[in-house]
A and B are shown apart, each in its own frame.
Chain A
Amino acid sequence: MVRLATRIGGLTLANPVMPASGTFGPELAEVMDLNRLGALVTKSVTPEARLGNALPRLAETENGLLNSIGIPGKGLAHFTAKAMPEWRRFRVPLVVSLSAPSVAEFARAAAVLAATPGVAAIEANISCPNLEEDGRAFAMLPDSAAAAVAAIRAASALPLWVKLSPNTADIAAVARACEAAGAEALVVANTILGLAIDIETARPKLGASMGGFSGPAFKPIALRLVWQCAQAVGIPIIGVGGISTAEDAVEFMMAGASAVQVGTASFVQPTAMLDVLDGLAAFCARRGITDVAQLVGMALPARERLAAE
């Protein structure tokens, strides 16, 4: 038997496999047993209701896709009153992804989540535009990222995961700033900005023009970001970006991720997360690895990181 239990800061997960925010909902319980996962991660909740972006919201590429969904949702009050009872049916820790347009709104919403039974952790989606900074994403710069993280930290005692964006010049600096501001773990990384054009109409394929690129073609970039962050911080990293198979998950863990999220792959193979989980255990068994945590950072040049855990 391979030990799969995974510690992410103060939270212990039964295994290191969970969904990526935005690609998952309770609907998947009609296809598979969600209680087999390490954690559940909601779509981003926003303080106010949002309609989302203009259609089309999806543009397929070779081995990946661009999306500009635009975080549609009914807002935080609806989430705590109506969505949470449904989430509480599951036994697995629930991580609520939180997005907000300002530091103060992040803090207010985090305080509400802290007072909501059944929320195991907050995943701060700081890739959303900061209305106080001309719409630049919080995650673009260390200072704005840290400001959001510090505000959430002060407003809530819940474990705080911070999801970083690839759309930054220096992800290691952003990672360090988030760690210093109180992040308990980093989720690396969100989608990378991309574009697709319909050459018949000479218009962008997405209604919102630009969109976030994800899927297998994005994997090498996400893996590199995990590798860089793992060498910059001491807190756990949750790897995400293009993971479809157990082999992909092993790569992310060897690059320094303690756990992984599976997103776009679930659109193609609805039970992809279970395939990743079963394959991960099989890989460890085949290699004589008794604890999945032994994989974490195996490929990093600085092995000190392993000793620190």
Chain B
Amino acid sequence: MDTAPSGFAIAQHACPVLESAPVGQRYHRLVVAAPGLAVRTRPGQFCHLLCRDAGGNGPYLRRPMSIWRIGTDGTLGFLLHVKGRGTAALARLRPGDALDVVGPLGVGFSLPPGARRVLVLARGVGLATLAPLNALPVAVHAVLSARAPEDLMAAEFGASSFEAVFDSDGSSAPAAVEALLRRRFERERPDAVFTCGSNRLFLLLQRLAAEYGIPGQVALEQQMGCGLGMCFCCVRDIRDDAGQVTHQRVCREGPVFDLQRAMSW
């Protein structure tokens, strides 16, 4: 296993904030300098962030945050939906402040051998978790679902090839997305599919991928305590090799799970 200079696979880092800026009405981007961490981080992994502003204000526990950008220049980026005390504290950080980061954590995405073309299906800020797939040596086509065009964040996702669907015009309705995916699977069948951010879209993709025989993965979210696998707070129902439903830790066995083994949440 890859280890930090400390000799340990996971470490706590005090990362200087380089950029901190709102994205649209509800989101925020944070970019930090994390040279020792960024080189060891794989797409789909997450970090456990101490959500304290420069004055030390914020909740007691850390918050798990998926990694949006893994910079080749030693930076890490996080794209947050600002919705609670923790993310509000993170959004108050300014360049020069320090962000306390534990990572890299969890099991990231994996491509099937020989994969050349993949499809990602993202809802809302779930696209942040999927964005690092763009750095892999495959052609990525994205289907991005958002409330309205102003919430889309297509630039933040960074794919050269994407389609957008919206609640505001009805194009994100499950039947419409299903028709879109079927067209895609029949014309340009992907070698693998990935999703994050919506239970409804997960169920749709799981069903269609099974029908078309396409392998896939889903990145799950869950409330966490330790982020390291010790507290068993973040379990979800996942089918094991024998098809039995088991509890697996999103922080440890996940956050990325096989699309067919994961279950509705």
Indicate with 1 or 0, residue by residue over A269-309, a CB within 8 angstroms of chain B CB atoms.
Answer: 11100000000000000000000000000000000000000
Q: Which residues of B contact A115 (CB under 8 A)?
A: none
Are A67 and B231 touching (Cβ within 8 A)?
yes
Please report the number of residue pairs spanning A and B whose Cβ atoms sit closer than 8 angstroms.
Answer: 84
The range of chain A's interface size is: 20 to 34
> Does A234 sit within 8 A of B, measured CB to CB?
no
Expressed in whole angstroms, the Cα–Cα distance for A293 and B246 within the complex equals 46
| Binary CB contact string for chain A from 12 to 26 against chain B (1 if under 8 A, 0 otherwise) | 000000000011110
With A25-B229, A65-B225 as contacts: A269 and B61 at CB distance below 8 Å: no
Q: Is the CB of A72 within 8 A of B223?
A: no
Measured between beta carbons, the chain A residues less than 8 angstroms from B102 are 31, 270
Q: A25-B230, A27-B252 are in contact. Are A271 and B247 (CB under 8 A)?
A: no
Within 8 A of A (CB), among B20-60: 50, 59-60
Contacts of A221 in B (CB 8 A): none
Bitwise interface map of A from 163 to 174 toward B, beta carbon under 8 Å scored 1, else 0: 000000000000
Q: How far is the CB of A248 from chain B (nearest CB, A)?
A: 15
Across-interface contacts of A55 in B (CB, < 8 A)? 223, 235
**A31 partner, pick from B60, B228, B235, B252, beta carbons under 8 A:** B228
Please give, as numbers and ranges, the residues of chain A lying within 8 Å of B199 by CB-CB distance: none
Taken together as a complex, chains A and B put the C-alpha atoms of A77 and B145 apart, in Å, by 48
Q: Do residues B10 and A30 form an inter-chain contact, with CB atoms below 8 A? A: yes
Interface size class of B (residues with CB under 8 A): 20 to 34
Chain B 237-252, CB-CB to A under 8 Å as 1, else 0, gives 0000000000100001
Which residues of chain A come closer than 8 Å to B226, judged between CB atoms?
23, 266-267, 270
Q: Is the CB of A271 within 8 A of B12?
A: yes
Q: Are A31 and B10 in touch, CB under 8 angstroms?
A: yes
Considering the chains assembled together, what is the distance between the CA atoms of A63 and B58 in angstroms?
10
B233 at the interface (CB under 8 A from A): yes
* CB of B9 closer than 8 Å to a CB of A: yes
Nearest B residue to A72 via CB reads B232
- Does residue A5 face the partner (Cβ distance < 8 Å to B)? no
Q: CA separation between A55 and B225, bound complex, in Å?
A: 13
Q: CA–CA, A31 to B1, complex, Å? A: 13
Q: Which residue of the partner chain A has the closest CB to B11?
A: A31
Residues of chain A with a CB closer than 8 A to B231's CB: 22-23, 58, 67, 69, 267
Please indicate the chain A residues that have their CB under 8 angstroms from the CB of B8 in the complex.
30-32
Contacts of B123 in A (CB 8 A): none
In the complex the two chains form, is A270's CB within 8 Å of B228's CB?
Answer: yes
User: Which chain A residue has the least Cβ–Cβ distance from B102?
Assistant: A270
How far apart sit A269 and B11, CA to CA, in the bound complex (Å)?
Answer: 10
Instruction: Report if B141 contacts A (CB, 8 A).
Output: no
CA distance A56 to B102 in the complex (A): 23
**CB pair B225 A67 closer than 8 Å:** yes
Closest B residue, CB atoms, query A25: B230
Q: Would you call A35 an interface residue if the criterion is a C-beta within 8 Å of the partner chain's C-beta atoms?
A: no
Quick one: CB contact mask for B204-248 with A, threshold 8 Å, 1 for yes?
A: 000000000000000000010111111111010000000000010
Whether A65 pairs with B230 at a CB distance below 8 angstroms is: no
Least CB distance, B240 to chain A, in whole angstroms:
13
Q: Is A52 an interface residue (CB 8 A)?
A: yes
Map CB proximity to A onto B143-182 as digits: 1 under 8 Å, 0 otherwise. Answer: 0000000000000000000000000000000000000000
Check B60–A67 contact: CB distance below 8 A: no
Does A72 lie within 8 Å of B233, measured CB to CB? Answer: no
In the complex, A3 has a CB within 8 A of chain B? no
Question: Are the C-beta atoms of A60 and B59 separated by less than 8 Å?
Answer: yes
A69 to B61, CA, bound (A): 16
Choose among B61, B62, B228 the residue that contacts A27 (Cβ–Cβ < 8 A): B228
Q: How far is the CB of A104 from chain B (nearest CB, A)?
A: 27
- For the complex of A and B, the 9 pairs showing the least CB-CB separation, nearest first, are A27-B229, A25-B230, A58-B233, A30-B9, A267-B226, A57-B233, A30-B10, A27-B228, A31-B10
In the assembled complex, 14 residue pairs joining A and B whose CB atoms fall closer than 8 Å, in A order, are A27-B229, A27-B252, A30-B1, A30-B10, A31-B228, A43-B232, A52-B247, A60-B59, A60-B61, A64-B60, A267-B231, A269-B12, A270-B226, A271-B12
Query: In the complex, given contacts A31-B8, A270-B226, what are 5 additional A-B residue pairs having Cβ atoms less than 8 angstroms apart?
Result: A30-B1, A31-B9, A63-B60, A72-B232, A268-B60
